[in-house]
Chain A
């Protein structure tokens, strides 16, 4: 039987711990303690003050925002143990990772696996420094769950492609510098006719139109491509390999979304603290409403089980050499729980938890409402829960279609 105790870290790691502490003392601006990661947030453009900028540059120049990525492309080159130390020390200092966004969460890991040397050297370092924002050009009006039905076409013109078509629901498209897109290069083969390419958002012929969401913000866009020139060097992998590469990227996306992503970050305080603030307490300091107390505990237990599952899955998939279909299980579970949590928050707060704007609500109350509404998207994007269920049933469990 395996022992539960973790082996002690080697002494060299203690030296690393000292190095991290010194770095944080020198570079982490105390006024940023506990503040969120603006760059990675999905809703709203980056609003970076001087302190945030300095912090991003400090972390970026060390590659510690992408701690496990190879050093030669600007990553931290840290071991798993060192990464854990870095995270522990950052948490102790109230520091957060200023490097994020789709480049870190999905595109970087995919390019590291499938990109050419030249592409990695060009695109990975700016991601590690948090300088370039990427958006995802996958969905189209008639290609949502059936993503492979995409029709945006890239015509081969020798040394470049000419791209025409429409993408939709492009998160952050209006603020992005570049787009990783899957497009059609062959109309005769649904899956093998797809290629993965990188498109500059400021190239002539790219137009974005923001769409307003139920949460009131406009964090996503329709994106139109009209005769957009894309140099051949921006093709990732081979022509026709886009579906394979694109799906791998989705596995990274799903693993990230499962943690609740943007919605979880916006949720703020933990449930029991919230409950103690908004609900009546008994003389013993416990929540007087036994039903709510039960429901909060019920949630917290399942959330613990989910976090443990996520941790185990990450360890197992690392051992097996990367992300896998278990990402579908994590995505399905994590998003459902995050949504449940938002709903529970509203129940705890009553009508005070449903404020839209104006007087009478704190900033965190209003933020919670927007997060609740935005969070409804997490079971839709990155492949809906229904699609994850199909993947689990068919690819993991080998269940055949009923037809």
Chain B
């Protein structure tokens, strides 16, 4: 298949060898408590359906999705609800979030699950989307957007390609690699079901060239299906970004403020496809995920299939514990992952990795003045000028930063990674994006208030006018005609 180049990007130290050859192992024994935040996804938080003291079974619905963009939460094992309370969430803010605490009873007793969809390719796409929604599946590459909503894009747009993202371009992470090597048929089956739901005739599975075994396994599993192409893409960060992967495969740039779906391409992660397979073929909701536990401070790095809600501390203990206090604890990859405030937070649906990074690995140094080397400009995969955006943000000139395109930044981290002056560019951009979004919201609100006020003034004016006219007419009628 002809590939197209993507602009810029970097080649970070990948450091995948620590876990690449480690087969997925199940976390045993189960943790003493599982912590299940009601919001593990983008969109509205789920609504709790259980009370403290309730007995629940494995796979039972604990939280129901609310509104159009939301996701359900299920019990990863059987046990007793100990608490429904505000607890620290796996988020850099460290702010508490409504969380269901489950004490496993060790029985691992299944609830009654939804029946398998016998022939998904004959089923109504709607039924599949419903099943995916019921199963609480979200984008497992880290974006955590509810998958059922994304599968619905086919009703609005004409889709050509389901692009399955197996690039795994973040350093350290090998969870997708292992899933593709160990469960290729499940991934392929899930992809075929998703393509059916989307109405997309073609499936392209993109995997970076540094995963030859995953490529072989997936090619073998896909060989029976002519609609599926397994493509090896160059090793280039951020190849796994939806827009850039779409460009590499189709040669097309997704226009600003549009979706790849507008080009006929929908991107889903490989682990998501596997979860869809489980949901459709076995009625199993999303209860666990594969997490790469790695980083120089972890004694025995592993790929662990961990129940959702497992405290990070338990996961690290399972991997032999820490050899030193890490400089950073990160959820996800080191480029775009979130820093964790402590190891007490749980694994959630988007946790692709838990990394305990040493000082040497993090390689943080004091910021020096920008020397305008232009490297950040050369490598920005979005064609932006980070040095100018940062200069404007430093002067608190958010409009200037916006004019230089800060809202187009995908926060891939390439510019910060490469900056010889160790300027935390992405930190600036995230701050600016947050502020600008808030300002826009505020402005829209004010505009709305203004519009309402103006409408009211106009209405009053109209009434007054009508009154005046009526009075004038009356006066005219009363005065005798000349």
Q: Check if A and B associate.
A: no
B-side residues, CB < 8 A to A, are: none
